[in-house]
Amino acid sequence: TLNFLLSLLHKNSKTEKNNRRKKMSEANEFAAVTKAFSGLGVDENLFISSLGRWNRYQRESYRVSTPGFFNEDERQFQRWSDHHILQLRQEFLRLKDAVVLYTMHPWERDARLFKEALLLKIPQQDVLIETACTRSSEDLLGARKAYHSLFEHSIEEDIAHHLKAHERKLLVALVSTYRYEGPKVNDDLAKSEAKVFVNALKDAKKKNLIEDEEIVRILSIRSKLHLKAICSHYKEMTGNFLDEDLDGDLILKQVVQCLCSPQTYFSKILIASLSLDVEESAKDSVTRVIVTRADENDMKLIKEEFQSKYGSTLAAKIQEVANGSYRDFLLTIIAKSD
């Protein structure tokens, strides 16, 4: 009798341990699937290996245990949240969008980026600025030609139509420019134009900086090396960095960063976008930045700046947040600059 009871206790204990292991394994699997549903991109392999094996009771258990994705309907069933349905449709498209953008001719890609940014209810001025300010003069001219062919309008016309007066003037000037890209810089002129910024920022309370014609002129015509010299002289004169002193005017701050230190600008865009809880437009920035910078010298600088500023490599952050084939595609692209 004693042996029978001991055997029964041992059997029950073993069953309980197995049940605990099973529940823990199921909980881990649920957590993995939730991450696959939540990140940037989708993890197709995990859906096949885990979700595809679940029976109807496991799927029921998952719906009940994941209220963030499912809402209890008044007719007693768990239904997908409308928000997450839309989000997942975006995630399944994310790899396709990245591949299409990466395959496009750079002129067509930038022309389409301009158009998409302008067609939104509130135009994405940051996309317009980064595209206008970080391309070479030849590539920017090419994007304008492609825009003509694709949309039978000029970029300048459409910016003038969609943007407000002061922003319109600056953006039209930025997309229309053909900057000198040689090595020569007139240091005396750069110093005098740094003083223009010093004086304009002193009077910023009286006059909006974006309305200052001299500021718009300098930012829209000077070479990038000349503008870097202006920033250097500004620092000598004031002890401050010009882009930091432009915190009160986000548009001008973005313009200066994109022209003078694009790695700083793009690193900030990436860290803000590589999060599980950001809006869809912010998630799209990851694709846009990595694909458009893939063949440029500044991808290496972006990765160095990202690690220096945020204490993690860009690759590690992508590994942490992105999923599946989309993640692997991004990692392959950024590895080219190593």
Question: CB of 287 within 8 A of CB of 94?
Answer: yes
Question: DSSP label at 42?
Answer: -
**Alpha-carbon distance 19 to 37, whole Å?**
27
The reply, when asked if residue 37 is annotated as ligand binding, is: yes
**Burial (Cβ within 10 Å: 0-12, 13-18, ≥19) of residue 40:** buried
**Alpha-carbon distance 37 to 43, whole Å?**
8
**Cα 330 from chain centroid (whole Å):** 12
Site of tokens 């600056």 = 170
Q: Give the alpha-carbon dihedral of 61, 66, 69, 75, to 10 degrees.
A: 50
Residue 177 has which token pair? 């420019």
Question: CB of 213 within 8 A of CB of 166?
Answer: no
Known binding residues are 37, 39, 41
The annotated binding site for Ca(2+) is made up of 37, 39, 41
